[in-house]
Amino acid sequence: MNDKDNLNRELTHLLNSQRLAALATHHSGQPYASLVSFAATPDLRQLLFATTRSTRKYANLSSDPRAAMLLDNRSNEETDIHSAIAVTATGTVWELSNYERTKALSLYLAKHPYLEEFVNAPSCALFKLTIRTYYLVTRFQNVVEIHMPL
Amino acid sequence: MTFILPIEHFGEEDRAQVGGKAFALASLWKAGFTVPKALCITTDVYDRYVSSTGLRERILMEIHRKAFTDMRWEEMWDASLRIRNMFVSTPLPKPLKDTLGDIIDASFKKYPVAVRSSAPGEDSDRASFAGLHESYVNVRGPSVILEHVLKVWSSLWSDAALLYRKELGLDPEKSTMAVVIQEMVFGDRSGVAFCRSPMDPSQAVIESVYGLNQGLVDGAVEPDRWVLDRISGKILSHTNPRRDLWVAPAQDGAVLEDLPTKKAPHPPLNDEEVEEVYRTAMALEKHFGSPQDVEWTFRDGRLYLLQSRPITTGTGAETRDDRSWYLSLSRSFKNLKALRQKIEEDLIPAILREASDLESITLETLPSEELCHEIERRSLIHKKWVEIYWSEFIPFAHGARLFGQVYNDAVHPSDPYEFMSLLMATEMESLKRNRLLEDLARDIRENSELRQVLEAGDPADADSSFLKRLDDFVSNYGQVICQSPSLTACRVSVCGILLRMAAVRTTSVARKDISALTEKFLSYFEGKKRGEATEMLDLARASYRLRDDDNIYLGRIESELDRAIALAETLLIADSAMEKDQRPYEELIARVKQKVYVPHSAVQATTEDENFLVRPRQLTGQPAGPGLGEGPARVVLKVSDLTEFQSGEILVCDAVDPAMTFVVPLCGGIVERRGGMLIHGAIIARAYGLPCVTGVPDVTTLIKTGDRITVDGYLGIVIVGLGETP
């Protein structure tokens, strides 16, 4: 599991197969977690998600763009303990606009076509989380850090 | 949900729930063969037990701790030991226990029974699990019977069963087990019959012993053996064994005893009885439609069938051979006693003699041609001892393993390795050596004048009594530590270590009150069993001691080979001006060096490239010494890396070898790539009370010298870094 090709494959598969992730933000040091629909860019450097501008997470990110996202393949069974894979991604969140938004939007909607109306609403913002580090947990206790280039 | 079924009530639809063995017995009963009365605890009960107690996931976590391919069989064996202990220490939920207990009580009262495994798919013509799962004989009373059911279930997860199932491509996660509870038939003669000989398909084979079958099945009693013509049943040959032992029923269980002398001259079966067994076995073949492997027993002249299973066809001889290898992973007490005698009386004196002989030879004066011969000779001697190490010394480690199982079954400790404190009662060579080192270091610590002399670099200037003890140490153990032929160089290396040890208060080996622990263990046994338990403990101690000492003995032989090679290399450098064909050592050294056994670390790919950087954060291995240690890592790949070793560092290596253990008193913890509880590093770590994690894949490349690491010896994990988030 520590071999790099395997890691890459495992991470890619997890990011492409999962639809939802828990996003962690904070307000004045108080952590806050929320569920978001996400999509990964092919180079795995960014995770895209959308939220309306009136949400608590939007407010939190506006004051501090640092965030973490947790995603995993658990099935809510006991066997998850040894067989589930979880990844925590840490980095910084930016709202997308213009050309970058258009490009990201088609990627995002390819994964979540049912969200088209939601994302295109004027009150909705599309974000990218630029990953600094992934923390990949397998076999319950095996943890590997994957540091992305700056 | 069906919990328990008498064999006479089975229908075809119950097959998957009752397993192969129980189903075959039911089929025999229906066809009118004589089989003992039996009940079957179905796989539903196993499933309910492991689900309701949480054991199912605990087992899976244990076997998925690492990728199967990353596990050495010693690690499998450790995992199996832990799993077995989970079963033994997790009682059946009360309602389940009451329901089963009532039915067992109604059927058998206080009469003795045999408790046997019956896993679905276990005996097919493709695979035979014969001998891989456990069975117990002469067990009485519902609650004791149910305790043995737990042990039979746990054997589903023995290392041998896991490896074999893996090889057959069976998914361990899907495995389950039924158990047969069978009225005990105390046969006076017992045996097995193969309708078709594995050696010659035109023949049938019958083997028989006096008393119960256990002795034959586990190899403790050598059987009489008849080879018959498969078609006519004519006896073609009869082999007389020594006939000196038998397995007789004891108050509970069974014991191996001397065969009464009046029985010894006579084979257990006469020709008519051999024929009866043969005819019955062939009738079974006809009944099941394939050649059978049958266990039977005679009681008062009546033939009882204990079990029948198809002879494995598979890919022929190969399949059988593999299973027998897995079976060899567990050795009988008798077999280990014989091995101990051979090791203690022949092999150890021989290896010590050979090492002393080699050490007494002055190589420096040998003409070059003779030095070449000497290197060749040493290389062969070394090769011979490496082979003996694998074929005799390593298997003897099973003595400790066997004891661990006996201890855990009797004592039910919460720590499955509690038994190891009892094994450490005896002094190991490397601990003896380290104690001498600690004594010398203490003298230096307490004598500043001596310290200054040594710090100046020439130990020869030290006072004569210290120098004598230093030289005694160097001549007894120096070769392993400094690997240099020169006394002066050895003195300097050893003094370097002593000065570092003197600078800090090092950990010493904890001496425990072993006698109280020993008494606690023995108090679980009475009468004859107590004698057996005492003997087993003694054997286990010998086995445990050897796991360390053998490395030291082999290390002496190895360093003698190295000494000759090192000298030849020096000469080679001196001769570098010579023409190539006049340089006698070059090719020889290259060739001999290739064969030298050194526990190399595997070559791993680098984990950095231009795209992203992979760093370990938490690595999983096996818990091998309880405790928590934190400090900078010192990655040691070769003995010379040890010269840099600083007090408080965590030793990270491929495998702790005897040449490394002298830095252990300076360590804050030990991490090894190689896994297993009974490997050298784990033994030494436990002796010093140091946290230790073994079996961490790729650890010597993933961790770098200087990395801050935490060794969690309770959980078997190594944490790299301090948890800072970049």
DSSP conformation letters of B358-422 = HHT---TTS-HHHHHHHHHHHHHHHHHHHHHIIIIIHHHTHHHHHHHHHHHHHH--SSTTTHHHH
Contacts of B554 (CB under 8 A, 6+ apart): B351, B385, B386, B389
- Asked if the model's pLDDT at residue B254 lies above 50, the reply is yes
Name the closest residue on chain B to residue A145, using Cα atoms.
Answer: B615
| Minimal CA separation from B57 to chain A, in Å | 6
Least confident residue range of B148-152, B305-309, B499-503 = B499-503
Q: How confident is the model at residue B609 (pLDDT cuts 50, 70, 90)?
A: very low
C-alpha torsion angle, residues B116, B121, B125, B126 (rounded to 10) = -120
Contacts of A148 in chain B (CB under 8 A): 612
- Asked if the model's pLDDT at residue B388 lies above 70, the reply is yes
Helix (H, G, I), strand (E, B) or coil at B320: helix
Instruction: Give the model confidence (pLDDT) of B558-569 as tens digits.
Output: 889 888 888 887
- Asked if the model's pLDDT at residue B436 lies above 80, the reply is yes
Least confident residue range of B260-269, B408-417, B574-583, B638-647 = B574-583
B125 versus B647: which is more confidently predicted? B647
Q: What are phi and psi of B252, to 5 degrees?
A: -135, 145
Alpha-carbon distances, residue B19 vs B136, B184, B297 (angstroms):
17, 20, 22
Is B69's Cβ below 8 Å from some Cβ in A?
no
- Inspect the interface and report whether the beta carbons of A78 and B57 lie closer than 8 Å: yes
| Minimal CA separation from A91 to chain B, in Å | 9
Name the closest residue on chain B to residue A144, using Cα atoms.
Answer: B616
Comparing C-alpha atoms, which of B62, B91, B267, B282 is closest to residue B173? Answer: B62
Contacts of A1 in chain B (CB under 8 A): 67
- Inspect the interface and report whether the beta carbons of B725 and A4 lie closer than 8 Å: no
- Asked if the model's pLDDT at residue B591 lies above 70, the reply is no
Which residue from A79, A141, A145 is facing B717, i.e. has the nearest CB? A141
pLDDT of residue B485: 65
Name the closest residue on chain A to residue B65, using Cα atoms.
Answer: A139
Strands B692-694, B669-672: pairing is: parallel
Which residue from B60, B605, B615 is facing A147, i.e. has the nearest CB? B615
Strands B302-310, B235-239: pairing is: unpaired
Is B612's Cβ below 8 Å from some Cβ in A?
yes
Give the residue from B63, B617, B700, B707 with the most A CB atoms within 10 Å of its CB, the best one to mutate.
B617
- Inspect the interface and report whether the beta carbons of A145 and B57 lie closer than 8 Å: no
C-beta of residue B655 within 8 angstroms of C-beta of residue B674? yes
| Minimal CA separation from B96 to chain A, in Å | 22
Please give the average per-residue pLDDT across B430-439, as a whole number: 82
- What average pLDDT does chain B have? 83
Helix (H, G, I), strand (E, B) or coil at B546: helix
B180 versus B314: which is more confidently predicted? B180
- Inspect the interface and report whether the beta carbons of A2 and B609 lie closer than 8 Å: no
Alpha-carbon distances, residue B155 vs A81, B457, B468 (angstroms):
23, 59, 56
Tokens coding B359: 């050490």
pLDDT of residue B604: 35
C-beta of residue B557 within 8 angstroms of C-beta of residue B358? yes
Q: How confident is the model at residue B75 (pLDDT cuts 50, 70, 90)?
A: confident
pLDDT of residue B360: 92
* Distance from chain centroid for Cα B310: 30
pLDDT of residue A26: 97
Is B717's Cβ below 8 Å from some Cβ in A?
yes
Could you write out the DSSP letters of every residue in B178-201?
EEEEEE----SEEEEEESS-SS-T
* DSSP character at residue B428: P
| Minimal CA separation from B702 to chain A, in Å | 9
Comparing C-alpha atoms, which of B683, B692, B701, B634 is closest to residue B663? Answer: B634
Least confident residue range of A91-95, B146-150, B613-617 = B613-617
pLDDT of residue B409: 82
Q: How confident is the model at residue B598 (pLDDT cuts 50, 70, 90)?
A: very low
Give the residue from A82, A130, A135 with the most B CB atoms within 10 Å of its CB, the best one to mutate.
A82
3-state secondary structure B622-684: EEEECCEEEEEEEEECCHHHHHHCCCCCEEEECCCCCCCHHHHHHCCEEEECCCCCCCHHHHH
Least confident residue range of A70-79, A92-101, B123-132, B178-187 = B123-132
Contacts of A82 in chain B (CB under 8 A): 57, 60-61, 64
Cα separation, B430 vs B656, whole angstroms: 12
pLDDT of residue B603: 29
pLDDT of residue A141: 87
- Asked if the model's pLDDT at residue B126 lies above 80, the reply is no
Name the closest residue on chain A to residue B50, using Cα atoms.
Answer: A78
Is B68's Cβ below 8 Å from some Cβ in A?
no
Contacts of B611 in chain A (CB under 8 A): 149
* Distance from chain centroid for Cα A38: 6
- Inspect the interface and report whether the beta carbons of B612 and A147 lie closer than 8 Å: yes
Q: CB burial class (10 A; 0-12, 13-18, 19+) of residue B265?
A: exposed
Instruction: Give the model confidence (pLDDT) of B310-333 as tens digits.
Output: 886 543 333 434 444 454 445 577
Q: At what angle do helices B271-288 and B15-30 cross, to 10 degrees?
A: 130
pLDDT of residue B708: 94
Q: How confident is the model at residue A19 (pLDDT cuts 50, 70, 90)?
A: very high
Least confident residue range of A33-47, A99-113, B51-65, B360-374 = B360-374
Cα separation, B409 vs B84, whole angstroms: 9
Query: What are the E-state strand segments in chain A?
Result: 20-27, 30-40, 46-52, 66-72, 86-95, 124-138, 142-147
- Asked if the model's pLDDT at residue B662 lies above 90, the reply is no
Give, for B296, the enclosing helix (H) or strand (E). Answer: strand B292-299
Instruction: Give the model confidence (pLDDT) of B191-215 as tens digits.
Output: 999 998 877 889 999 999 999 988 7
pLDDT of residue B40: 95
Please give the average per-residue pLDDT across B675-694, as a whole number: 82
Cα separation, B324 vs B117, whole angstroms: 19
Is A140's Cβ below 8 Å from some Cβ in B?
yes
pLDDT of residue A74: 95
Least confident residue range of B78-87, B129-138, B315-324 = B315-324
- Asked if the model's pLDDT at residue B546 lies above 80, the reply is yes
Cα separation, A49 vs B178, whole angstroms: 51
Strands B245-249, B254-258: pairing is: antiparallel
Which residue from A81, A143, A146 is facing B612, i.e. has the nearest CB? A146
| Minimal CA separation from A144 to chain B, in Å | 5
Q: Which residue has the tokens 């998914």?
A: B171
Q: How confident is the model at residue B594 (pLDDT cuts 50, 70, 90)?
A: low
Which residue from B64, B620, B725 is facing A83, i.e. has the nearest CB? B64
> In this structure, is the dihedral angle defined by the CA atoms of residues A112, A114, A116 and A122, taken in order, positive or negative?
negative
- Asked if the model's pLDDT at residue B280 lies above 50, the reply is yes
DSSP bridge pairs for A36 = A21
pLDDT of residue B351: 95
Comparing C-alpha atoms, which of B261, B252, B160, B256 is closest to residue B214? Answer: B256
Give, for A82, the enclosing helix (H) or strand (E). Answer: helix A80-83
Instruction: Give the model confidence (pLDDT) of B217-240 as tens digits.
Output: 777 788 999 999 999 999 999 998
Least confident residue range of B91-105, B484-498, B703-717 = B484-498
Contacts of A139 in chain B (CB under 8 A): 64-66, 620
Name the closest residue on chain B to residue A1, using Cα atoms.
Answer: B67
Rg (CA), chain A: 15
Comparing C-alpha atoms, which of A10, A21, A24, A6 is closest to residue A83? Answer: A10
Which residues 154-193 of chain B have a CB within 8 Å of chain A?
Answer: 173
Instruction: Give the model confidence (pLDDT) of A57-77 as tens digits.
Output: 999 999 999 999 999 999 998
Name the closest residue on chain A to residue B61, using Cα atoms.
Answer: A82
Q: How many CB pairs under 8 A join A and B?
A: 76
DSSP bridge pairs for A23 = A34, A69
Please give the average per-residue pLDDT across B340-361, as a whole number: 94
Least confident residue range of B240-249, B383-392, B557-566, B592-601 = B592-601
Cα separation, B274 vs B226, whole angstroms: 8
Is A35's Cβ below 8 Å from some Cβ in B?
no
Please give the average per-residue pLDDT across B649-678, as a whole number: 85
- Asked if the model's pLDDT at residue A2 lies above 60, the reply is no
Q: How many CA atoms lie within 13 A of B411 on its CB side?
A: 22
Which residue from A78, A81, A144 is facing B616, i.e. has the nearest CB? A144
Contacts of A46 in chain B (CB under 8 A): none
Q: Which of A88-92, B261-265, B371-375, B512-516 has the highest mean pLDDT?
A: A88-92
- Asked if the model's pLDDT at residue B428 lies above 90, the reply is no
Percent of chain B with pLDDT strictly greater than 90:
37
Rg (CA), chain B: 30
Query: What are the E-state strand segments in B506-575?
Result: none
- Give buried/exposed letters for B447-473 (b at 16+ CB in 10 A, else e): beebbebbeeeebeebeeebeeebbeb
Is A3's Cβ below 8 Å from some Cβ in B?
yes
Which residues 58-77 of chain A have a CB within 8 Å of chain B?
Answer: none
Contacts of B386 (CB under 8 A, 6+ apart): B554, B597
Percent of chain A with pLDDT strictly greater than 90:
82
Please give the average per-residue pLDDT across A132-144, as a whole number: 92
